[in-house]
Amino acid sequence: MRLRNEDRRDSRWLNRPAPICIKALLFFCGAFAGKAESSSDGLFSERILPLTDNYCLDCHDDNTTKGDLDLESFYDEAHTLANRAIWKKAYDMLDAEMMPPPKEDHLPSPSERAELLAAIAAYLAIPDPNLGQANPGKPIVSRLNRLQYNNTVRDLFGLDHDLFILPDRLPTRRDPYYAEEGKMPDSMIINIREFGSKYTVLLPFSGLPGENRVAHGFNNRGDAMNVSPLQLEKYVSIAGELVNYPNFMVESPRFLTLLGLDIDALCGPDTGGTGGVLVNAAQRFAARDNVPASAPGNDFSLTDFRQDLQAAGKQGRAAVFDIPNPFQKELLFDSGAIIAVKYGSERERRFTINPTYGVSIVPYETAESTANGLCMVNSHGNEKYFDLVLAADANDPREEIRSLGLCVLGMNELSGYVTVTVTLSDHQRLSRTAYVSDENTFFGFDIPEGSSSVKVTIDGQAYGGKYIAVGDIAIATSQGKIGTGNLRDPWMTKNRLKPGWKDRSPRTRLGYFMNDAFRRKATEEEIDRFHSIYRKEESRGASSVDAMRVAVQSVLSSPQFLFRLEKEASMGNEKNPIRELSDLELANRLSYFLWVSMPDRELFEAANRGELTNSSGLETQVRRMMRDPKIRELAETFAVQWLRLDQIYATKPDREVFKAFYRDRLEEDTLHDDYIIEAVLLFETIMIEDRSILELIDADYSWLNAFLLDVYELDERHEGLLAAAPQHLKDTTGVTDRTRYHLWYRVPLTDKTRGGVMTMGGPLTLTSTPLETSPIKRGNWMLETVYNRPPPEPAMAFVLEKSKNEAESEPKTLREMFEMHRDNPSCYTCHNRIDPLGFALEAFDPIGRLREKDTKGAVVDASGVWNGKAYDSPVSFKSAIMERPEYFVRGFIEHLLSYAIGRKLEYYDMATVSDIQQKLEERGYRFSELILEIVKSDPFRKTLTGRAASPRPPQFAVKERGPLGERALTSESPLNQSSRYDTEQ
Amino acid sequence: MLKGAGVSLALPFLDIMKPLETLAATVPGAPTSPKRVAFVYTPNGFWQPDFVPTKAGVGWEMPKSLKGLERLRNDFSIVTGLDRKFAGGTSTHGQCCSCWLSSSPADEALDAGFPTNRTVDQFLASELGANTMLPSLELSCVDFNDNKESRYYESVSWYGPGFAANTEKDPQLVFRRLFGKPDPRTSSVLDAVLDEAKALRGELGYNDRQKLEEYMQSVRATERRIELSKIAMAKRSKPPIPEPKGIPEDRSEYIRLMADLMFLAFQLDLTRVATLVVDPERWATPRMYHGVFDKPIEHHKLTHSKEEGSKEKLQKIDAFHVEQYAYMIEKLKQIQTEDGGSLFDETSLIMGSGISDGDKHDFADLQVLMAGGQIRRGEHIKFQGERPLADLWLTTLNRHGVQQERFADSERLIPNIFV
């Protein structure tokens, strides 16, 4: 290699044009060049080259080529246009003032720098001469990652919770989610699950491997995900587990129908191992007469309800479930097995109760049962929260619930507020909150017409103890006008699988399912293909149900399900290298962007009506989607990965030195969760209330609980905040401290030390080591997260020791050692950016507390200069950052755009980013505007087609076979070219 | 290679796709003294002063970190002084792991700046794995759940540029894959999806098709595994060991269990090539080394730490990994083969790290531990000046039946490593 350089130097020296000729040559080229060059109008030769010639060529000529960059190779405009990725890199280095090296004597003036930046930006925005317009990037070809797979299967089958345990799920449900209201409350209870503990899922002992993150990016990037035999086996095997898992039929009425079965298949004497039970309705509601209390706002009294039940019962339309004797052993409904209650006179009906979130039926010593000595409680201690889906008649969607009553059981020596919420199939909610003491309390609801099923949520999180118990549950029903489908499967409508359709032919059922599974209309040939599996299995002697299971497993293992394929792209007209995405493709992009899942019924329908390809239709859907609880995924995935919060659990502050971080002896209760939630809540507030994204880094409020108030030395505010919180949240007697700390307040901040992600405990902790802060990690985090300009990897690890030895006098502080380190010119370029940010945050200790002295006892010096403004405290540092908010805005747009389209941004995306940025500035940086501008942008709505998407057969496909084995021969592959400046994928 | 399909990243087993009927005839479990190779990767280099013997040849003093191998002095050799070239622009730690076995030259950065390419174990798999249930087995003890590093930090085995082999991390799942009874329905499912993929292929452009090829190759490999596992199962009455219950909490127990599974797969001739990643590069997550330290410790941080005692800790981690290696050697020696010898005689067990000095991120002067019947043992084979690591891999390939003149940036065969 060394020899080659020598050779090259000698020969090139003779052959290359002298630098002084370059301009002339360019003029020459420009004058005689074809169309491609004319578009640049001498931009490159007149505005860029003179400046780079003056300031860059000393190091980046073809002789020196520092950093492997030879700017002299750009003497041919066609060549230059085709290699603009390098100029994006040059732009970033110039922009960050990392190049020319700040310590050089010969530096461009600020106006020269600005001119050069503007010129390069304009040059990068020139439409690709081969495309005739800006390059929108390649189509999405991506395997579903773990989260996408989980969510897609969940929504495909209408499940209420995750398919399997996701280790990276936030340890809190926040249910009901506040997206619909468009407003966050001022205080709320947030229950936190212990990190790493199990939670309610369908398949608790299964899962898929997660994807690695991409350096400086997110884990949804198609180019970083392969399919290997091991991966494929896991997909096939989990689909097999799913379709054969008995409770899956119970959890998903949709799957049950797909198998051609109805509810009776799950209950009664022959339950087929589903854990379902079939019982007879009781004669009387709350027969023990021990329900003295009634929730405020009940639609009727207990007495009236009993009379109503009696009258309805005469017509066979009352069903009382009193947790009867067959349950003498403890029953765990962890995976949501079904309870069917037989009622009716002429016609036998099935009132079903379907606990969806870890419920047990047990005798409970400190509670008094309303009938048979048993009650229904949350099975996971401390959750005190569960859902029951009630269907008036599981076999007849026309039967509707007219009224509903249930008893919440009081427990000895405990009390607190309990909220029972009934959610109707149109998502309307009816809610009652009662202060429950040790007396049993009745909750009664009139149910509006059209509700064949409802979801009842029992929220006892503010009640004392670890459990919330429910006694009798009863409904009165009537025959409705039309069937409204089933709440558990809210997007099942006309053209899709419905409970009544179990008698349709297997092929028809499979076809409906495939439309959804493939997220587009399945062709007849495709349906035939999968139907033939069904027939083959049947001919081998499988029952029709088992044959269907294999067919469904095959659909879930097929490439059309497992991949997101914008396959029309490849069939595109070669003459037109760019095309607009179809409505259906846009629906898919939108839903995987905002929900990390498949489109819902409404989005599919909007796509079928062709509404997504026009801006107003698109906007309507986006705004609707942002009001859907599924938008939480944007916070839990994008925001968490953006801030690197998923790494916080791996940071373990020393428990001797940082006792405040550990709240109990077992190390189970730490500030990790609180720190994640604080940041997620800020993001959610901005997202849900449609606030300015600038608040992400500079907000005058923060979400804090008692622990964080303490850590942030704001504990004097606690009394006031507690006093202002709604009574039903705080009035808890007999509660543990833990519960009390689950009360979160939106705290107005007068002092800007906190407020915004930069000075939150989470990022400050995850960038520290167990004993010390790391200014480097913090500086890097700032550059990467806040600015999306991560510094390049250092060529080698720097040894502080060295500068220590070389120093004449022993440096005293870490800061002094770093300053010596920065004296090295090759380190200075990056550390000139990293260190001011890192050292500004030295005002915070390794767990994010303000401090005056560092861990070694030296006085902390958090002063510096940024954006030309001096700072000496977190407050003035924040003002220095806000001096140029546009740098943050640009970085944030880039992060979100890259996440939205699942690819790394390229130089040709720069124009889109600055376009969005300009619009945002005009519109007050509102979050929804950002989302809308992203989905309306070319990279989101268009794609390269056919050959343009894969310009030539990748050259690394050319392999040399034979004695040398199979090896790539060239490094000039498109893969390599397009990502030369991505340090890794 | 599939003809005319535009496949560029052929999985190794596709080169050797034989009709299953033919495979059934080549009965696994009755090889004529087959050769096996296992690569074990440990991260972040080694603390040099306590790892590298000074004297070359035989009779060298045992450095502190290698003391665990003292009793096995005549069962292994240490190779030092081989070099790799770092390709600028990507992270040192990512590259030293992902390119340890590809050893690609720095100017061959096909994968977004990373010189990943088909690795030596995958070349071996196409030759040695032709008839086994799994052409190769990729295992890892990286049980971190946090999303801290990219795949370059934990992948040593690559099918081709940018195409990492997935690893199995849970011993229970390794067990099931090796010895479990295949679900008869799986074959029906695989048939169906392969048909679907074939039909789909015609509709796709190059990029999409490449993903689909990966998928189809994976389907075929799985079909093959299932067929061969049926044959293998027919030959034994029950699994050789009871099914493990997930990941053992004790670090050394975990590593040893994975090694046990790897060697069982060798013994039953379910595979002949394996990689085991003991830990990933960098990954600033403290981990517990049971019996070594009483609290979790961060390996990478120690390599750059100037704190008192950090080098001693680093040395202890190296010694801990060497202990695991010693266990593996002994385990191999205990396993009897049908011809009366031990598995050790037929296996090459190779352990190393992609950098030498972790603090300096030094890609030069790497250390490799080599054990097994094929290896010249008891020696310190020391290279001076520049000598590519690829020469060792080239020699390993040739020694195990993959006749090549070059591998990566190799220059020539090393004559004195194998017996």
**Closest-CA distance of chain B to residue A892, Å:** 21
What digits encode the pLDDT tens for the residues B65-86? 999 999 999 999 999 999 998 8
Q: Which residues of A touch B201 (CB under 8 A)?
A: none
**Cβ contact A533–B188 (<8 Å):** yes
Mean pLDDT of A482-510: 56
Is residue B133 domain-resident? yes
**Closest-CA distance of chain A to residue B198, Å:** 10
Tell me what percent of the residues of chain A surpass a pLDDT of 90.
41
The pLDDT of residue A977 is above 50 = no
The pLDDT of residue A687 is above 80 = yes
Q: Which residues of B touch A977 (CB under 8 A)?
A: none
The per-residue pLDDT for A29 is 38
**Closest-CA distance of chain B to residue A625, Å:** 28
Mean pLDDT of A871-900: 95
**Cβ contact A236–B190 (<8 Å):** yes
Residue A40: band (very low, low, confident or very high) from pLDDT cuts 50, 70, 90: low
Is residue B234 domain-resident? no
Residue A488: band (very low, low, confident or very high) from pLDDT cuts 50, 70, 90: very low
Q: Which residues contact residue B63 at a Cβ distance below 8 angstroms, ignoring those fewer than 6 apart?
A: B49, B50, B51, B52, B53
- Given CB atoms, is B195 within the 8 Å cutoff of chain A? yes
Is residue B69 within 8 A of residue B76, CB to CB? The reply is yes
**Closest-CA distance of chain B to residue A135, Å:** 17
- Given CB atoms, is B167 within the 8 Å cutoff of chain A? yes
**Closest-CA distance of chain A to residue B134, Å:** 10
Q: Which residues of B touch A966 (CB under 8 A)?
A: 10, 118
Give the nearest chain B residue to A793 (CA atoms).
Answer: B91
Give the integer Cα–Cα distance in Å for B329 and B138.
19
Residue A131: band (very low, low, confident or very high) from pLDDT cuts 50, 70, 90: confident
**Closest-CA distance of chain A to residue B44, Å:** 12
Mean pLDDT of A176-205: 81
Give the nearest chain B residue to A196 (CA atoms).
Answer: B145
Is residue B381 domain-resident? yes
Select from A138, A196, A226 the Cβ nearest to the Cβ of B207: A138
- Given CB atoms, is B169 within the 8 Å cutoff of chain A? yes
Tell me what percent of the residues of chain A surpass a pLDDT of 70.
81
Mean pLDDT of B134-140: 95
ipTM of the complex: 0.84
Please count the residue pairs, one from chain A and one from chain B, whose beta carbons lie less than 8 angstroms apart: 282
pLDDT top residue among A156 and A957: A156
Hey, is A416 helix, strand or coil?
A: strand
What digits encode the pLDDT tens for the residues A920-952? 999 999 999 999 999 999 999 998 886 666 544
**Cβ contact B111–A232 (<8 Å):** no
Q: Which residues of A touch B359 (CB under 8 A)?
A: 797, 799
**Cβ contact A797–B360 (<8 Å):** yes
Is residue A474 within 8 A of residue A328, CB to CB? The reply is no
pLDDT top residue among A578 and A71: A578
**Closest-CA distance of chain B to residue A595, Å:** 20
The per-residue pLDDT for B109 is 64
- Given CB atoms, is B307 within the 8 Å cutoff of chain A? no
The domains found in chain A, sorted by start residue, are 2-124 (no CATH), 275-479 (2.60.120), 774-843+852-883 (no CATH)
- Given CB atoms, is B162 within the 8 Å cutoff of chain A? yes
Give the integer Cα–Cα distance in Å for A965 and A288.
83
Q: Comparing C-alpha atoms, which of A230, A55, A30, A39 is closest to residue A131?
A: A39
- Given CB atoms, is B199 within the 8 Å cutoff of chain A? yes
Which of A127-136, A217-226, A461-470, B22-31 is least confident? B22-31
The per-residue pLDDT for A809 is 53
CA distances to A258, A634, B181, B416 from A100, rounded to whole Å, are 66, 39, 64, 51
pLDDT top residue among A786 and A57: A786
**Cβ contact A567–B203 (<8 Å):** yes
The per-residue pLDDT for A802 is 46
Q: Which residues of B touch A536 (CB under 8 A)?
A: 188
Number of domains in chain B: 1
Which of A65-74, A877-886, B333-342, B397-406 is least confident? A65-74
What digits encode the pLDDT tens for the residues A711-761? 999 989 888 888 888 877 765 543 445 456 788 999 999 988 999 999 999
What digits encode the pLDDT tens for the residues B193-237? 999 998 888 777 766 777 888 899 899 989 988 988 888 888 877
The per-residue pLDDT for B211 is 80
The per-residue pLDDT for B83 is 93
- Given CB atoms, is B286 within the 8 Å cutoff of chain A? yes
Select from B188, B204, B306 the Cβ nearest to the Cβ of A567: B204
**Cβ contact B186–A237 (<8 Å):** yes
The per-residue pLDDT for A810 is 55
**Closest-CA distance of chain A to residue B95, Å:** 10
Q: Comparing C-alpha atoms, which of A254, A256, A250, A244 is closest to residue A549?
A: A244
The per-residue pLDDT for B369 is 97
Is residue B300 domain-resident? yes
Q: Which residues are paired to A320 by β-bridges?
A: A474
The per-residue pLDDT for B270 is 92
Is residue B368 domain-resident? yes
**Cβ contact A240–B185 (<8 Å):** yes
Residue A897: band (very low, low, confident or very high) from pLDDT cuts 50, 70, 90: very high
Q: Which residues contact residue A720 at a Cβ distance below 8 angstroms, ignoring those fewer than 6 apart?
A: none
Q: Comparing C-alpha atoms, which of A520, A587, A513 is closest to residue A555?
A: A513
The per-residue pLDDT for A1 is 33
> Phi-psi category of B85—alpha, beta or left, where left has phi over 0 and alpha has psi -120 to 50?
beta
The per-residue pLDDT for A723 is 84
The pLDDT of residue A959 is above 80 = no
Name the amino acid, one letter, at A613: T
The per-residue pLDDT for A800 is 47
Q: Half-sphere exposure of residue A543, counting CA atoms within 13 Å on the CB side?
A: 5
The pLDDT of residue A286 is above 80 = yes
CB burial string B363-388: b at 16+ within 10 A, e below: bbbbbbbbbbbbbebbbbbbbeeebb
Mean pLDDT of A146-155: 95
Is residue B189 domain-resident? no
Most confident of A23-27, A449-453, A650-654: A650-654
Residue A9: band (very low, low, confident or very high) from pLDDT cuts 50, 70, 90: very low
Mean pLDDT of A848-854: 92
pLDDT top residue among A145 and A953: A145
Tell me what percent of the residues of chain B surpass a pLDDT of 90.
54
Give the nearest chain A residue to B105 (CA atoms).
Answer: A1
Q: Which residues of A touch B388 (CB under 8 A)?
A: none
Q: Which residues are paired to A277 by β-bridges?
A: A339
What digits encode the pLDDT tens for the residues B8-46? 455 554 444 454 555 544 444 444 557 899 999 999 999
The per-residue pLDDT for A622 is 97
The per-residue pLDDT for B283 is 87
Q: Which residues are paired to A701 by β-bridges?
A: A748
What digits encode the pLDDT tens for the residues B368-395? 999 999 999 999 999 998 899 999 999 9
Q: Provide the token pair at A154.
A: 């969940």
The per-residue pLDDT for A892 is 97
**Cβ contact B189–A529 (<8 Å):** no
**Closest-CA distance of chain B to residue A195, Å:** 12
**Cβ contact B92–A801 (<8 Å):** no
The pLDDT of residue A490 is above 70 = no
**Closest-CA distance of chain B to residue A448, Å:** 46
Mean pLDDT of B291-315: 91
The pLDDT of residue A494 is above 70 = no
The pLDDT of residue A685 is above 80 = yes
Select from A209, A222, A792 the Cβ nearest to the Cβ of B166: A209
Interface residue of B108, B193, B212, B409 to substitute, partner A, most A CBs within 10 Å: B193
Select from B159, B161, B188 the Cβ nearest to the Cβ of A956: B161
Mean of the per-residue pLDDT values of chain A: 81
Interface residue of A69, A226, A567 to substitute, partner B, most B CBs within 10 Å: A226
The per-residue pLDDT for A527 is 95
Is residue A44 within 8 A of residue A80, CB to CB? The reply is yes
Give the integer Cα–Cα distance in Å for B386 and B374.
25
What digits encode the pLDDT tens for the residues A91-115? 888 888 888 887 778 888 888 888 8
Residue A346: band (very low, low, confident or very high) from pLDDT cuts 50, 70, 90: confident
Which of A235-244, A282-291, A358-367, A871-880 is least confident? A358-367
**Cβ contact A982–B113 (<8 Å):** yes
**Cβ contact A649–B146 (<8 Å):** yes
Give the nearest chain A residue to B196 (CA atoms).
Answer: A558
Is residue B127 domain-resident? yes
Which of A198-202, B245-249, B262-266 is least confident? A198-202
**Cβ contact A793–B91 (<8 Å):** yes
- Given CB atoms, is B411 within the 8 Å cutoff of chain A? no
The per-residue pLDDT for B3 is 31
Interface residue of B136, B211, B402 to substitute, partner A, most A CBs within 10 Å: B211
Select from A558, A953, A971 the Cβ nearest to the Cβ of B108: A971
Q: Which residues of A touch B159 (CB under 8 A)?
A: 228
Range of the domain at B168: 31-179+242-399
The pLDDT of residue A574 is above 70 = no
Q: Provide the token pair at A938.
A: 């070319």
- Given CB atoms, is B8 within the 8 Å cutoff of chain A? yes
Phi, then psi, of A729 in degrees rounded to 5: -85, -35
**Closest-CA distance of chain A to residue B177, Å:** 9
Q: What is the CATH number of the domain that holds B126?
A: 3.40.720.10
The helix, strand and coil proportions of chain A, stated in percent and rounded to the nearest 5, come to 45, 15, 40
Mean pLDDT of A361-383: 83
Select from A233, A570, A965 the Cβ nearest to the Cβ of B205: A570
